[in-house]
Structures are given as C-alpha cells and as structure tokens.
Amino acid sequence: MTVTKKHLMEVDLIKGLAIISVVLVHCLPYNDAFMTLRMFTFSMALLIFMLLMGRNMYASFEKHNYMENGFHALSYLKNRLVRFLYPFIPVFVISIILGLLTNQDLYFGLYTLVGYLPLPGPGNYFVTVLLQFIIIFPLLYLAYKRYPRLTLIATFVISLLFELISPYISALNADAYIYYANILRYLFVITLGLWVLEAFEPTKRIRSNLESFIVLIGLVVGVIYMVAFGIFHWEVPFFNTFWGTEYPTLGSYVVIVAFYPLVLYMLAYRILPSNSENKIIKFIAYVGKASYHVFLVQILFFAVFYNPYATISQSGLFDPVTSGIISIVVSLAVTLPLGALFYKYEYVFDNILDRLFRIKKDDSDLTSGRSLKKQN
C-alpha cells in the first residue's frame, strides 16, 4: 500500500474552499429556492472536512509511524489535545467577553467539557466531534490497517444503525446537540478519508473496478436522494428529523449521501493545482491551512451576528440579491482575514499557555500537518 506523505497544495485548496463554504452556509438565507443548490454545494463542506480529518490523520500516522514499537497512548492524547486546545482556549475567553459586551446569556455546564463555547455559534458541534475523533482514531487506524474493507463495511453499518436507533433513544431526542455532535453519524465518512488517501490519491484513479462500481452506486443513491429531498421534500422513514427540511445534509442523512462529498473531493484533487504563484490561489491555500482557526473565528462572528442576511434585508435598504451579496462580502471579509491572522500569530498565545501549563506541542497539526515549532 502506497500512501502520499508530502504536503499537498491540492488538499490545502480543498480545505480553503470548504471553510469558505462553511461561512457561506451560515451567512446566506434558508429558503426553498436556495435549498437544493445549498445541498449540492456549500452544505457538503462539513462532510468534506470529516473526510479530511480521516485522510490527514491517517497520513500523519503513516508519516510518523505512531504504531511502531508500541503505541504511546498518553503521549498521543496529550499532543493532539494540546494541538486542539491551544487555539480553542483564547477563543473560549473571547466568547465570554463578546457575550458580556453584547448582553447575551453565557453557557457554562456539562457541554463546556466537550467544547461548547460560553457564547456558542453555528457549527459549534464540530468542536465536540473533533474531541471524539482524537480519542477514537487510533482504534480506527488499527482496524483499517488490518482489515480495510471490513472496517469500511463496519463503519457504514454503525453509522446507519445509529440513525435508525437514535429516534428511540431518549437522551438523543431530549437534546438535539447530543445527536448531531455524535461522531457515530460521521464515522463512515471519516473512514472514507482513510480509503481515499491510499486507494485514490497516489495515482488519482480508483484502484479497482469493484471499488469504482461501489463508489458509482453510492454516488447515484446519494444524488437521487438529494434530488428527491430537495425538490419533493421526501424524508427517510424511521430516521431522526431534528433538522427536518431546513438542513438535510446535517440531519439524519449523512450516511446516505456519503459518496457524494467523496466524489467532490476526488474531482477537486484531480483538478486543483499542485503549485501556483497566483495570489488568489495562494490565499485560498493559506486559508485552508488556517481552516481550524477560521472555523473558530466564524463561530464567534455568527454568535454575535447570527443571521447577517436577515439583518441587512430587514433594514429595507436593499433588495434580496443585494442583501445576499453584502452579507457574503462582510462575512468573508471579517472571518477569513481574522482566521488567517489568528493562525499566523497563534504562537503568541502558545507561548503564554506554554508558560502557564509547561506543555509542548508535537510537530504535526491535527488537520493540516503544518509545523508547530514556534515562530521567531
């Protein structure tokens, strides 16, 4: 099995486009006219990030040989949790300040322990999923290394069973956050990230006719479902409907549409450049490297300005199209530069936290694999 180990611009560009899509999802209106387009485009950003989590951590394990000479679980958890927490802690503090300044209620409770911010915003559940991912990935890696096809089948069954059983579990029905922040919903998509790294990326082709056939069938099923749901508002019987018709790709349908974001990733990987001196392309790639930081910044931005489109359109000064354009421009102009600056100067916060906790990070990122040595 051959696994690509070098840093790839294509992956950074895909991450950059995905995090831009996340911002667009949160700043544009929710209406029937826009929903079908949203399903096939921007809403896939979440699932692409889930796939990338599996892909990038798999590459990191292969590169650093984490499982050779015994797996040092405590060292792994310390390094990964610190890599996750160092950007999160200043955002946590800033969320408290923003909540106080804007006179909003602050949350401090059980969910705080799993990454729920005092002033939560759209997408906060992804932080909780990341924590679970850090914990379970070594087991997923071992299972996939030994039994790749069986692991893919098993994770598909687990994700499907979770969706079928969840309507009958009182805890999941009592609080939607427990449901949609549960990593079992995304487990199959994450495992597809492991598969795509070693079965597609080395040659930019699917390695066997059988796997090509399975991907094609999965793609057809996903597209048929999205068309049926987006146009005819058909829902899957027996599945949870927390999100209903408002946000289908984040509802109970992840496992059904899983091959669609996989194919989007494979197409983007083939089309996007490996090198470029174009300033726009380089900026998008840099935003991709900073995607976790941009994501945290956009949580805060939308926690304060929850629906910028609605605010602008309700002012009565602009028509719907102009309101949408202004919402996009303002949201991207705030979140992308601030997230990129946060990424660039994170070492300032790192130095402070290092002095407080005397903990050093390892040299690989949770999602991008960038060097974490302090910048001078």
pLDDT digit string (tens) for 61-101? 888 777 766 676 777 888 888 888 889 999 999 999 999 99
At 246 the pLDDT is 43
User: Which is higher by pLDDT, 310 or 233?
Assistant: 310
- Give the whole-angstrom CA distance, residue 317 versus residue 103: 27
At 374 the pLDDT is 39
Provide DSSP, 37-92: HHHHTGGGHHHHHHHHHHHHHHHHHHHHTTTTTS--HHHHHHHHHHHHHHHHHHHH
230 within some domain: yes
User: Which is higher by pLDDT, 235 or 81?
Assistant: 81
Asked whether the predicted pLDDT for residue 365 surpasses 80, the reply is no
Mean pLDDT of 349-362: 67
CB-CB contact of 341 with 293 (8 Å): no
179 within some domain: yes
The 10s digit of each residue's pLDDT in 109-139 is 999 999 999 999 989 999 999 999 999 999 9
1 within some domain: no
107 within some domain: yes
Range of the domain at 166: 9-357
Number of domains in the chain: 1
Average model confidence (pLDDT) across the chain: 85
2 within some domain: no
Tracing tokens 């989590």 back to the chain, one arrives at 53
Please report which confidence band the pLDDT of residue 240 belongs to, taking 50, 70 and 90 as the band edges. Answer: low
Percent of the chain with pLDDT over 70: 85
Q: Is the pTM of this model over 0.75?
A: yes
- Find the range with the poorest average confidence among 71-85, 86-100, 155-169, 202-216: 71-85
The 10s digit of each residue's pLDDT in 2-42 is 454 456 899 999 999 999 999 998 888 766 666 677 788 88
At 55 the pLDDT is 96
128 within some domain: yes
SS3 125: helix
76 within some domain: yes
Asked whether the predicted pLDDT for residue 299 surpasses 70, the reply is yes
Mean pLDDT of 206-221: 95
